[in-house]
Amino acid sequence: MNYFLPVQCGAPDYKKQQFNILYSKIRLGSYLAGLWEGDGHILIPKTNNKKDYIPHFAITLAENDYPLVFKLKSLLGGSIRFKKENHAYVLTVASIKDLINIINLINGYLRGPKIEHFKDLINWMNKNKNLNLIFKPQDNVNLLENDWLSGFIDAEGSFDIRVSLIKNGALKNRIAARFRLEQKIIDNKSLFSNSNLLSLISKTFFVNLTISTHNKKKEYFLISISSQKARLILVDYLDKHPLFTSKFLNYKDWRECHFLIKEKNHLNNKGINIALNLKSKMNSKRIIYNWDHLSQLDIY
């Protein structure tokens, strides 16, 4: 699975190398846009009383994803803060130079209501730092054509395998590979609905958009993918536009179960045991992490 176009061996091809660099920036930019829209925010100063107070661009990732947080810091700059109460790391970028770099990377790839905060950031930068940054409108290309969705999935998606058991302990031939994507109905900052964005994603996979309720009666949009047709679309997409959090490892196990079901090898005891073994390593049960997939970001 190649994330970036390879550079051919032999005599240097300047145009080819320049294209590879541009291509990698496009993919990183769209991925970063999806990741930030899933679990990021921008803090913009309300007054200019503090001489050195500038906007903060932040992305929050789970504690297990520290290697990715550190990798993004090496690419984007900023600082890392651990939120012990949330078991999460926050990457915060707060220098003019680094903010300009981020703006140039994700500008034109945003799809949801958080684009209004991004626009506010550009306006602040232009007004207070005498810049002439151009705001690009919402991206409307096919959702499966760039890495925005993989970034959004890294922020808000989850993979799981379900194996049903009969009460007496005997295995029942019922195995499911399920993907879920949740997002708040109303964006906290802009107070705009995420309806259009989540409807677009659900239509892309030919599934219904439903609502789930969590503690304190908080409502979320929910997209659930379990049918073979929808799974095939997701696998084809993520094989071309990979994840970078630890969810990449869950996806690999989930993908194996998907093909186990697709090829009808889950209908015997051997297949059921394979599914159980895959399930036993995923999500909160995972104790071994391999981060080799982060090397695909090295070209940038």
243 CB-near residues (< 8 Å, 6+ apart): 150, 153, 154, 251, 293
Q: Which pTM was predicted?
A: 0.88
> Domain locations in the chain?
14-129, 148-297
* Model confidence pLDDT, tens digit, residues 70-111: 999 999 999 999 999 999 999 999 999 999 999 999 999 999
For residue 157, count other CB atoms closer than 10 A to its CB.
Answer: 24
Band of pLDDT at residue 187, cut at 50, 70 and 90 = confident
* Model confidence pLDDT, tens digit, residues 2-52: 333 333 334 445 443 443 444 577 789 999 999 999 999 999 987 655 556
Ramachandran category for residue 37: left, alpha or beta (phi over 0 → left; psi -120 to 50 → alpha): alpha
Task: Return the amino acid letter for 210.
Answer: T
Instruction: Average the pLDDT over 216-228 and give the result.
Output: 90
pLDDT score for 99: 97
Same fold: 14-129 with 148-297: yes
What is the fold of 14-129?
Endonuclease I-creI (3.10.28)
Instruction: Average the pLDDT over 145-156 and give the result.
Output: 96
CB 91 within 8 A of CB 78: yes
Find residue 133's DSSP bridge partners.
none
pLDDT score for 42: 95
Torsion sign (Cα): 267, 270, 273, 277: negative
pLDDT score for 30: 96
For residue 142, count other CB atoms closer than 10 A to its CB.
Answer: 8
For the chain, percent helix, then strand, then coil, each to nearest 5? 45, 20, 35
Task: Give the burial string for 208-233 (b: 16+ CB within 10 Å, else e).
Answer: ebeeeeeeeeeebbbbbbbeeebbeb
- Is residue 146 over pLDDT 50? yes
* Model confidence pLDDT, tens digit, residues 116-141: 999 999 999 999 999 999 999 999 99
Q: Of 7 and 225, which is predicted with more confidence?
A: 225
* CATH superfamily ID and name for 148-297: Homing endonucleases (3.10.28.10)
Supply the mean pLDDT for the chain. 87
Torsion sign (Cα): 294, 295, 297, 298: positive
pLDDT score for 45: 83
What is the share, in percent, of the chain residues with pLDDT greater than 90? Answer: 69
